[in-house]
Amino acid sequence: MAAKDDVYAKVTPRRQRQSRPSTVKHGSALDVLLSMGFPKTRALKALVSTGGKNVQAACDWLFSHVDDPFLDDPLPREYVLYLRPSGPLLQQLSLFWQQSRLSCGKNKAHNIFPHITLCQFFMCADGKVDALSEALQTTVAKWKGRIPMPLPLEPYTSSSFIGLFVEEQVAEVLKSFAADFATEAAAKADVHVEPHKKQLHVTLAYHFQASHLPILDKLAKNVDVTLGCDWLSVLFSRDIRFANHETLQVMYPYLPQNDDELELVTGDFIFTSQVEHGSASEGWVYGSSLSTGLSGLLPENYVNRADESDTWVVHGSHSVLNCASPSNSVSTVGGLLFDGQINDSLLDSLVDPPSLAGLCPPLQVSRPTSQSSLSNMRLFVCRHGERMDVVFGKHWVTQCFDSKGRYVRSNLNMPSSLPARAGGHRDYDKDCPITVFGSTQARLVGEALMESHTAIDFVYCSPSLRCVQTAQHIVQGLQQEGKTKLRVEPGLFEWTKWVSGTCLPSWIPPAELVAANLSVDTTYRPHIPVSKLVVSESYDTYISRSFQVTREILAECKSLGNTVLIVAHASSLEACTRQMQGLSPQNSKDFVQVVRKIPYLGFCACEEMGETGVWQLTDPPIMPLTHGPNHSFNWREMLTQD
């Protein structure tokens, strides 16, 4: 976290004016907080940070920020005025947001919802925020019926930008509206607002890869700019301390193991900067919590990137078309678009927003399944389940097999029996099985697929026993055992550079796997046989091998079934899908960083876009699977100490 002096250095000085009385109008909410004993500065900060007329939300904020080192910091929030579309046009723009994200990944436009910028960011003291909101309400009332509707929007595309520009004459009207707001804000709240002087527009995409331009341009042309639409003038605020930080959302809870770590609560937002990224340990980042204000190190694979606007607060939302203004709802605007999913409830609320209070994490709803997706080919790639040697250490084989090679388990998480191996039990050193919990993980995934009405037509797996066993239990969870046999494909084995020693593992042959009650297809002929694998292959060779075998598998299954499941290694989720999307391979260093973050049963989905031959990552049909560490417990050591 930057020192306070550094934070203040980032604040642009504003024009000095004659001091005026503070115009606080939080009324009873502020009075209640003061009567509860909260200092006025803290009470105001809580009300403003939650958008506020709700005492409960402000109290919750204050209690959660009790240890926030910046709780008494007088630094004001930053504000901005946007025009936001609603109704049919918003639905079209939201669909574009969703499709462009699915087709080409996230670009800079996705950080903020569809909008027209009416002014630059400006600051307002906490005690004058109500007066600022009143200035907006006064301006909107003055301009009712004077802004031409629908706004004439003209599509524009360049090599690095796609947007909709407001026709020049009407843009001047909007600029006059913004200028009047600036005048009212100065008079009522003593703040300086700088109206937007550039061409007014709705940004659809920018900072995207050049290869994505044709797809984005085609999607943009499908947006009907003539559709009826009410526009809402909305006043937003953000915490200025984190204006240039990356916004992350917590996906999994985490309890600190050391004093310098940050507790994570699912749904919370974390702010982190590139400088803080660089100062953290590998696999960890340094960030600050939105809900508590506390800072510390956190595991990088517990968070996902969020949109910049997900943490913004609404301080006023008014229709510029209808006489009845929507309620000054209090909510974050995250949730309109989250991970490419449209939040239908929030779309409706933009037309007639409900009265909300407090910071609400984005709502997640299932992505509607289009008719076409039912017939498109889909590829699922899944990592194997929890492996024995990671849980019990690399010497587990020595501990679990006696001098005669008989297996005896010593922990409930160890399988009750293991397949016999022609080369003896030492072959397990390089080809370990999954744990009992690994089997449970896999069955849970299979059951979730069945509950989502997802049928798997073909299952391919790496020859590693852990992958074969995982695939078997997924099929069992799907209740497709006997119907769907596993195709063991050596070409799906992980990067051979990661194999210790001078030779590859001695995998159990398909016939012996069948003898061990694993449902393996013994008639299957691999695309890349074991004889073609080499020890310590180069990174380029591994990536090419993975791409080749994936293409050949999909070509083999085409017209015979729509859905293919590959069960292999953490590296497979990246190696088997990236080039299928037309993307170039990452360098080996970045590749390793991605692989490190993929958990057991990590699952991704890729779908062919019609008959184009282009594949894109899509939302999996199942939820992620998370479990915490469960260390070995010995009652004798723990409970009989003096």
Q: Point out the residues that are catalytic.
A: 383-384, 569
What single string gives the DSSP state of each residue in 281-328?
PTTEEEEEETTT--EEEEEGGGEEE--GGGG-EEEEEEESSSSSPPP-
Residue 219 main-chain phi, psi, to 5 deg: -65, -40
Helix or strand run (H / E) with residue 272: strand 269-272
Q: How many helices (H) and strands (E) does the chain have?
A: 19, 21
Starting from the edge strand earliest in sequence, which strands make up the sheet with 486-488, in order? Answer: 486-488, 458-461, 563-568, 378-383, 603-608, 615-618
Rounded to an integer, what distance in angstroms lies between the CA atom of residue 177 and that of residue 143? 7
Class of residue 365 by CB neighbours under 10 A (exposed 0-12, middle 13-18, buried 19+): middle
CB 292 within 8 A of CB 68: yes
409-410-411 Cα angle (round to 5): 100
List 238's β-bridge partners, or say none.
Answer: 78
Q: How many residues does the chain have?
A: 642
Cis peptide before 150 (omega within 30 of 0): yes
511 token code pair: 């016939």
577 token code pair: 């899908």
150 token code pair: 């629908």
CA–CA distances in Å: residue 66 to residues 59, 63, 262, 267, 400 = 11, 5, 15, 20, 51
- Mark 369-380 as b/e (b = at least 16 C-beta within 10 Å): eeeebeebbbbb
- Contact residues for 221 (Cβ-Cβ < 8 A; gap 6+): 155
Q: Three-state SS for 376?
A: coil
Rounded to an integer, what distance in angstroms lies between the CA atom of residue 352 and that of residue 510? 61
CA–CA distances in Å: residue 624 to residues 9, 449, 602 = 42, 12, 7
CB 383 within 8 A of CB 620: no
Residue type, 48: V
Residue 635 main-chain phi, psi, to 5 deg: -60, -35
The pairing of strands 284-289 and 337-338 is unpaired
350-111-248 Cα angle (round to 5): 105
- Residue 558: count of CB within 10 angstroms of its CB: 12
Report CA 235 to chain centroid distance, whole Å.
26
Rounded to an integer, what distance in angstroms lies between the CA atom of residue 132 and that of residue 186? 9
- Which candidate, 188, 339, 308, 185, places its Cα nearest to that of 242? 308
Rounded to an integer, what distance in angstroms lies between the CA atom of residue 280 and that of residue 623? 30
